[in-house]
Structure formats: structure tokens, C-alpha cells
Structure 1
Amino acid sequence: MQDKYFAKKRIKSSLILFIIIAVTYGAIILTEFSMAKGLASIPKAIEWAFTNFLPNASSLDRLPNILDKLLETVLVSIAATTFAAMCALMFAIAGSNTTKVNNFFSTVARGFATLFRNIDIAAWSMILLFSFGQSSLTGFFALFFVSFGFLTRAFIEVIDEASNSSVEALQATGATYFTIVFQSVVPSSIAQMISWVLFVVETNIRSATLIGILTGTGIGFAFDLYYKSMNYNAASLVVIVIVFTILTIEYISNYVRRVIL
């Protein structure tokens, strides 16, 4: 019986592998992709990068403006994440199996989390452009919606994992709902929640660069402006500043995680 089961499983696995290979080969033919040409172009691409895509003295004069745009991007990302975290906490409490008021509110909370989480941030940016135009507000709401959906789902899982035993103990003593939430659920889950918030801040700063290109704001707009005007030296300086900022924030968030967890 087991031999037949494993034989069927091998056949299914082989069939799936064959389909993947066939689809990949079909995509290569349709797009006229050539691996040989791709590999051959790498040395020329590296040569071009070292020739054109490096900061020079002229591009360094633009550093103050680049840092202003960077600060705008970082602040919008942090503000959107913080506001999303506060809203996500309320929805997570309503959606968690441990703290839900009733099944209706739990389903609604989980539904909102799924909806906002599964729409890509670029799609949110384009949708919001029709309402708010090219402004920082568009970027803020795009980051907020995606962060809200992700954090709501993460907070629900944190609450369900961290609070079961303490909630049952308080319920046995006759504690009220709000006492259980604010004296058991939140304290026992706060460290993991902060960790998730820090992770989303890092992600949002990366995403905000793409959003800036779409909305004409922040550091993304600066890169887009310099790149399209063929000022590659200044564009490379923007990239270096972004990378340095992301690494710095990741280092800080990792340090905070080690302290609180």
C-alpha cells in the first residue's frame, strides 16, 4: 500500500516538474531570452557602472537635497507604520480567537487584514493617485494600508500564541474583558509586536523608494529625477544613501530586538 502511495507521489512530482520546465522553456522562447547573451553582457555592464554610476564632486553638492528627501521618506515610513500598528492592535484584539468579542467581528477583522495585506503596495499607490495625486499623502496611505493588513495578521498570531494560559487564568478569577486585554494580552505580547513593527519599518523604507517614483515624492523621486536626466553620478549617490540608511536601521532594529526579546 505504501509503495503505491509513494509511486503516485513520485508520478505527481515528476509531472509538476515537467510542467514547470515546459512553462520555463516556453517563456524563454516567447521572450527570446538568451542566457549566452545575458552572461556576455555582464562585463560591459560592470564597466559601465564603474564609469558612469559612481558619485563625483559635482554630485556631492546635491547631498543636502538628497538627505532632505531621505528624511521625508523615513519620517513618512515611520509615521505610516506607527499609525498602522495602533489600528492593527485594535483589529487584532477583535480578530484573535483568544480575545474576540464574537465571530462576526473576528471575521470582519481577519477579512480586512487579508484584503489590505494581499493588495500590492504599488497597486495601492496607483489607486490612491486618483484621489490624492502626487503627494506625500498618497505614499503615507499606501504604506499604511499594506502595513495595517500585515501587522493585523501578525498581531493576531502573536496574541493567540502568547496569551492563552494567562487569559484562561484571569477568566477563572472572573476578570473583566478589558482587564484581561490590558493586563494580560498586551503585556505578554508587546515584545513580539514591537519586533514586528520594527520589521515593517525596515520594509516600508525600502518600499517608500518605489512609491516615491510613482508619487513624485521623497528619495524615490530624487532618484527618478536624476536617472531620467542622465545624471547617473547623482543617482548613484542616492542609491548609496538609501543602502546606508537601510543597513543602519536594520542594525538598530536588530539591536532593539535582542534587548526586548
Structure 2
Amino acid sequence: MNEKLMNRRKWNKTIFLFIIIVITYLSADITNFSFIHGITAFPEAMGWIFSNLFITQESLEKLPTILEKLNETIFMSIAATTTAAVFSLFLGIMGSKATKVNSFLSVLSRFIASTARNIPVVAWALILLLSFGQNSITGYLALFVGTVGFLTRAFIEAIDESSQSAVEALTATGATYAHIVNKAVIPESLPQIISWILFMIETNIRSATLVGILTGTGIGYIFDLYYKTLDYNAVALVTFSIVISVIIIELISNYIRKVIL
């Protein structure tokens, strides 16, 4: 019996691998992508990068402007994430099986999360661009909507996985719904909630660069401006600044996670 089960699993893995290979081949054929050309062109691409994307003294003179736009992007990402976290926490409590008020609100919150999450942030920026134009409000709203979708889903799972012993104990004492949420559910889920918020801040800083290219704001606008004017040395400085800022924020986030988890 075990031998038959192992053989069946082996065949299932083989079939699955074969399907993946076929899909990959068809995708490359439909898009006219050549793996061989991609591999042979890689050394030439790296050579262009090292010969053009380097920081010079002239590009360093633009550092104050770059840092100003980088700060704008970072603070916009933090603002979008923290305000979205408030809405997501409310939707997460409504959507969780452990804390839902009724089935309608649970389904509604999960639907909002699914809709907001499955549409990429860049797509949200393009949609909102038609109504709000190229400004920081558009970038903020695009990050906000995308963050609400992701964090709501994450908060629902965090609340569902939290220990139910405290909830059951407070319920047995006749505690109100608000008291149970404040004294049992949120304290149990808070470390995971904070961890997800920190993760989204890191993610939104990366996403804000692409959004800024569309909305004409932040570090994305500066990157696009220098790229279109073929100022590759300034592009290198912008890219380096983004990488360093993301690494610093990630290190801070990891330290906070170690403290709270």
C-alpha cells in the first residue's frame, strides 16, 4: 500500500514538472523570449551597467535634491501604511472568524481585502491618476488601498491564529464584545500585527518608487527625470540612495521584530 502511494506521488510530481516545463516553453514562445539570447546578452548588459551607472562628483551635487525627494517617498510610505493599518485592523476584526459581528460584515471585509489586494499598486495608481491627477495624493491613495488589502488579510489570519483561551475566559465572565477585543484579541495578536506593519513599510517604499514615476512625485519622479535626460550618473546615485535607505529601514524593522516577538 505504501509502495503504491509513493509511486503515485512520484508520478504526480513528474506530471506536475512536465506541465511546468510545457507552460514555460509556451510562454517563452508566445512572448518571443529566447533563453539563449538572454544568457548571451547578460555580459553585455552588465558591461553597460558598470560603464554608465557610476557616481561622479557632479552627480553628488544633486544629492540634497535626491535626499529631499527620498524623504518625501519614505514619509509618504509610512503615512500610507500606518493609516491603512487602522482601517485594516477594523476590517480584520470584522472579518476574523473569532471576532466577527455577523456573517455579512465578515464577507464584506474579506471581499474588500481581496479586491484591494489582487489589483497591483501600480494599477491603483493608474486608476486614481484619472481622478486626482499627478500629485502626492494619488501616490498616497494608491499605496493606502493596496496596503489595506494586504494588511486586512494578514490581520485576519493573525487574529484567527491567536490563542482563544483568553477569549473564552472573558466570555465566561460575561465581558462585552469591545472588552474581549481590547483585552484579549488585540494583545494576543499585537506582535504579529506590528510585524506585518513593518513589513508593509519596507514594501511600500519600494512600491512608492514605481508609483512616483506615474504620479510625478517623490524619488520615482527624480529617477524618471534623470533617466529620460540620460543622466545615468545621477540615476546611479538615486538607485544607490534607494538601496541604502531600504537596507537601513529593514535593519531597523528586524531589530524591532526581535524586541516585540
TM-score, L = length of structure 2: 0.94
- The CA distance in 1 between the partners of 2:123 and 2:88, in whole Å, is 21
- The CA distance in 2 between the partners of 1:30 and 1:109, in whole Å, is 38
Q: Is 2:148 the partner of 1:148? A: yes
Q: Which residue of 2 aligns with 1:167?
A: 167
Q: Is 2:222 the partner of 1:222? A: yes
Give 1:12 deviation, angstroms.
4.6
Preserved CA contact (<8 Å) 1:98 1:163? no
Structure 1 residue identity aligned to 2:239: V
Q: Which residue of 1 aligns with 2:96?
A: 96
Structure 1: which 5+ residue stretches go unaligned? Answer: none
Structure 2 residue identity aligned to 1:46: M
Q: Which residue of 1 aligns with 2:180?
A: 180
- The CA distance in 2 between the partners of 1:23 and 1:188, in whole Å, is 44
Give 1:184 deviation, angstroms.
1.4
Give 1:7 deviation, angstroms.
5.1
Count, aligned residues = 261
- CA deviations 1:99-157 (Å, max 9, x no partner) are 11111111111111111111111111111111111111111111111111111111111
Q: Which residue of 1 aligns with 2:204?
A: 204
Preserved CA contact (<8 Å) 1:110 1:153? yes
Give 1:9 deviation, angstroms.
4.9
Preserved CA contact (<8 Å) 1:136 1:217? yes
SS in 2 for 1:134: coil
Structure 2: which 5+ residue stretches go unaligned? Answer: none
Identity across aligned pairs (percent)? Answer: 54
Deviates more, 1:242-251 or 1:108-117: 108-117
Q: Which residue of 2 aligns with 1:28?
A: 28
SS in 2 for 1:51: helix
Q: Is 2:38 the partner of 1:38? A: yes
Q: Which residue of 2 aligns with 1:66?
A: 66
Give 1:65 deviation, angstroms.
0.5
Q: Is 2:105 the partner of 1:105? A: yes
- CA deviations 1:135-191 (Å, max 9, x no partner) are 111111111111111111111111121141111000001111111111111122212
RMSD: 1.7
Q: Which residue of 2 aligns with 1:114?
A: 114
Q: Is 2:134 the partner of 1:134? A: yes
Deviates more, 1:242-251 or 1:43-52: 43-52
Deviates more, 1:2-11 or 1:78-87: 2-11
Q: Is 2:257 the partner of 1:246? A: no
TM-score, L = length of structure 1: 0.94
Preserved CA contact (<8 Å) 1:125 1:142? yes
- The CA distance in 2 between the partners of 1:82 and 1:166, in whole Å, is 27
Q: 1:17 to 1:127 in 2, by over 3 A?
A: same
Give 1:40 deviation, angstroms.
2.7
SS in 1 for 2:230: coil
- The CA distance in 2 between the partners of 1:29 and 1:97, in whole Å, is 45
- CA deviations 1:209-254 (Å, max 9, x no partner) are 1111111111011111111110000001000000000000000000
SS in 1 for 2:84: helix
Give 1:197 deviation, angstroms.
0.3
